[in-house]
Structure formats: structure tokens, C-alpha cells
Chains A and B, each alone.
Chain A
């Protein structure tokens, strides 16, 4: 029996384990998933936690619940990978050998990479919301905030869920409105990009949302260091804050840093169509851990997993691999006051307006703020737990399509 080892029990690792378990013939392969954590975090929930719009109970579940019983789950961190020997060494010193390795270790924030960021004030008036600890600590800080300058700052790209910082800004605007102190809170969105978003059509739409909500946009700000209550850019511009919500530099897992299979930030080098490492053909990666040029987001993992499970089986059966992953991604974007918008895009096509998933019908609308989109986002948590992770069928194809979309003139 061939040994398939999956590093990571997050979205990508869980879906891959379940998919391969369903698709492989009996006795064809043995599956092992390795992850240091006991709990699975529904990561989109981290956005809502600081605003009291969800609870930890709703967004945490044991990893074991979502991974098929026929898969062994090992709760250990990965210490090192020896790609030449096809061996993974775990935190407890044990060694696991593989015939195929799937890396799904995601990305983590590295606030310590920015000078001064984790110094005085860290988790007092400077927070992240990309970790459970950060989102949890931010909640009372937001509740106690009575006025002043709230700064949302993206340190560097790439980041996980590139729309989450915008959503945070929109939700903060709504939150302070609801508390009746919006006029006492100045909100700024400070980004290294030259606009509110990377791609022009969506950047225009989101830029308009920001200005409509009275959120100031500070662009091309490359954060160099933090001193006291001040962000200082590499070209010596400054932004003062009373409350800082930072989206720190992102990196891959520690065991990948400096590895020959990973890039400078620790993301695994894979072919963007087949998700296979070119130097070690038995190594594959998906999701945030892979260095493919699309968004780091759960939807991408889902679309990638359909191709990757097929490719793993083809690889084990010595058949030619598929190489047609197109970078398909989509995400809901909360805009506050019970509304949301939606984007759907790929390696080659930026987010465009239109209807989704059914052309002309929707019911969801791309790049428009609607209530239905917001309900879609809320419903997605159930879809995630009960359809996406168990790898059940969803009516959205892995290939990007222009159907229902149009390019504004």
C-alpha cells in the first residue's frame, strides 16, 4: 500500500484526506494527516469575533470530526522535511516516510518581522485578527474604545484572504455607528498597494465603499517600523494611531523556511496548473502553503482539491497529470449593516460585476452590496462544516467562467 502523508489538518488537508479516501480504490493507499493543533478553526469567523458577531464555540471544532475515520490523524508539529529521503521528522522525534507528500500547512503571521510591532502595546492597543488569540483580545479593546484614530494596516503582501482587512474596516464603521460614536472615531485604511485592492475594477468599487463610509485610504505605505503609537514607512511617512489593527507579514510553516522546495517566504514552489513540485515530483502543495499566483483563500483550496486528488491518484497510477488549475477563487466581502458583496476571479481574469453562480439568475450579485450576499456569507459556515470539508458536491465548478459576468466600459 502506498503511503500518502498530508501535512496540515486545515481546510486543504481535511478536504484532501476525505476526497482521496472516497476516490481511491480499497487498499490502494494509506492516509496520514499530521497537524499540531487539536482544533479546526473556521477562519472566516475570526473576522466576526472581535465585533461579537460570532462566538468561539461556533468557529471551533475538533479536527477529528471532519476527517474520515479511515485516515490516521497524528497531533504533532513537523520539525523537518528531508525531501531527498522522503521523510518527515515530527516534534516528538518520530520519522514518517511517504510515497506522496501533500503540503497543506497554510500560512501564519509574522508580526515579529516588523521592527517594534510586538513591543509595548502589543495586545494593548495593537492587535491582529488573523489568529484566535488576536481576534479574542481585540474584542474588549473595540468594546472599550470611546473615540480616536483606528488604523487598519497591511504590512506587506501576500496576505491570507486579501479582502478581510477591507471587511474589517467596513464592519468597524458599522460597529461604531451602532454604538453611536462613529463621529468620534476616525478610521484609516493604510496599505502598501496603490489603491483599495490589487485589481482595477474591484479596486474602484472598494475605493468607493471606503469613501462612502468615511474611511480614509492611505496608499503605497510600506510599513518599516512601529514606534510608540506611530507607524513609520520605509520612506519616512508617518501615521499616528490610538488603536492599531495590523495585518502582519505572512510566511509559510517554519520547517519550509530555507528549504529547497520553498520560496523566500516559505511557500512551496509548485507548478501553478498541476500543483506539483518540479524538483520532487512526489511533493504537492495546495492552499495558502503553495506559492501559486492566486488569492490565499478557502475557496481556492476547494477548487484546487478537485484537481489535486485526481492528480495524486494519477501520480500513484503512473498516469499523466492534469495541469489545468486556473487560479479560480471567490469570496464574500462583508460590507456592514447586514450587507455583503462577492467576487469571483482567476489567474487571468480580475473580479468583474455580474450574477453568480447562475448567469442572469444569481441569486448572488458580484461587486454589489446586497442582503442576499450577506445571508450567503452566513450560510457559508454550515456549507463549510458539512459540505466543503467532507468533500461533498457543491454547485460551483472548479473552473472559472465568464458566464454571468461583464466587463464595465
Chain B
């Protein structure tokens, strides 16, 4: 099983490098995951998106689409791309400790 050490903590990750167990996640780990993909500071906007993604994932078993994020997370699609440049859904999922969204097939 692959593992990653982030912020002094070692966690299991899946083959895509995403957190294996959503239960291992906490805010400290989120900050470390964000730093790992070049987000040095988690702003209010980042937290809004990450918490929204996590809530939806835990409720439905799948990550919301970019369009839902833009409509319902409280952050516009344009801001999403500023907060998580190039791939908001996959980057926010990474920080939120949930699997990489489907669709990237």
C-alpha cells in the first residue's frame, strides 16, 4: 500500500496519490495536502470549496462537478480557477481528502 508523509504525518494514499481513507483527514492534513500542490495558504475561499466537496462526497459517495461547485459552493467558477488553477475539481478533491473525481477517464 502506497503512503505519503505530509506535515510529519504518514497516511495511506490510492494509486492516484489521493488520500485512501477519508477518515484520516483533518484541517491540519488539508493544509499539508494544499502545500503539497503549491497552495501555500488556505484562504476562506479554499476552505469553502474544500468543505463543500467533502460534505457532498460523504453524503453522496461522489464528488460534485465543477458546475455544481460554481453554483452551490458559494464560490463562482471563475474564482474556483483562481483558487485551484487549471483543475479545480481534481485539486480541491486532493485537498479535501476524497478520491479523484470520475470523468478523468
- Chain A interface residues (CB < 8 Å from chain B): 113, 156-158, 162, 192-194, 198, 220, 222, 224, 233-235, 249, 263-265, 269, 291-296
Contacts and interface: CB of A to CB of B under 8 A. Distances in A.
A264 B87 contact: no
Contacts of A193: 104
Contacts of B102: 158, 291-293
Interface in B51-105: 60-62, 64-68, 77-78, 80-82, 85-87, 102-105
Interface residues of B, number: 20
B62 A113 contact: no
Interface of B is mostly: loop
Interface of A is mostly: loop
Contacts of B82: 235
B76 to A, nearest CB: 10
B59 to A, nearest CB: 11
A297 to B, nearest CB: 10
B81 A157 contact: no
A291 B60 CA distance: 12
Interface of B: 60-62, 64-68, 77-78, 80-82, 85-87, 102-105
30 contacts: A113-B67, A156-B66, A156-B103, A157-B103, A157-B105, A158-B103, A162-B105, A192-B87, A193-B104, A194-B86, A198-B104, A222-B87, A224-B81, A233-B81, A234-B77, A234-B78, A235-B81, A235-B82, A263-B60, A264-B67, A264-B68, A265-B65, A269-B60, A269-B61, A269-B62, A291-B102, A293-B102, A293-B105, A294-B105, A295-B105
A155 to B, nearest CB: 11
A291 B105 contact: no
A234 B77 CA distance: 8
A263 B105 contact: no
Contacts of B68: 264
Contacts of A233: 81
B81 A234 contact: yes
A202 B70 CA distance: 32
A234 B62 contact: no
A113 B67 CA distance: 9
A192 B105 CA distance: 12
A194 B104 CA distance: 11
Contacts of B80: 234
A220 B87 CA distance: 8
A194 to B, nearest CB: 8
B85 A158 contact: no
A249 to B, nearest CB: 8
B3 to A, nearest CB: 20
Contacts of B77: 224, 234
Contacts of A291: 62, 102
Contacts of A263: 60, 62, 65
A220 to B, nearest CB: 5
B65 A198 contact: no
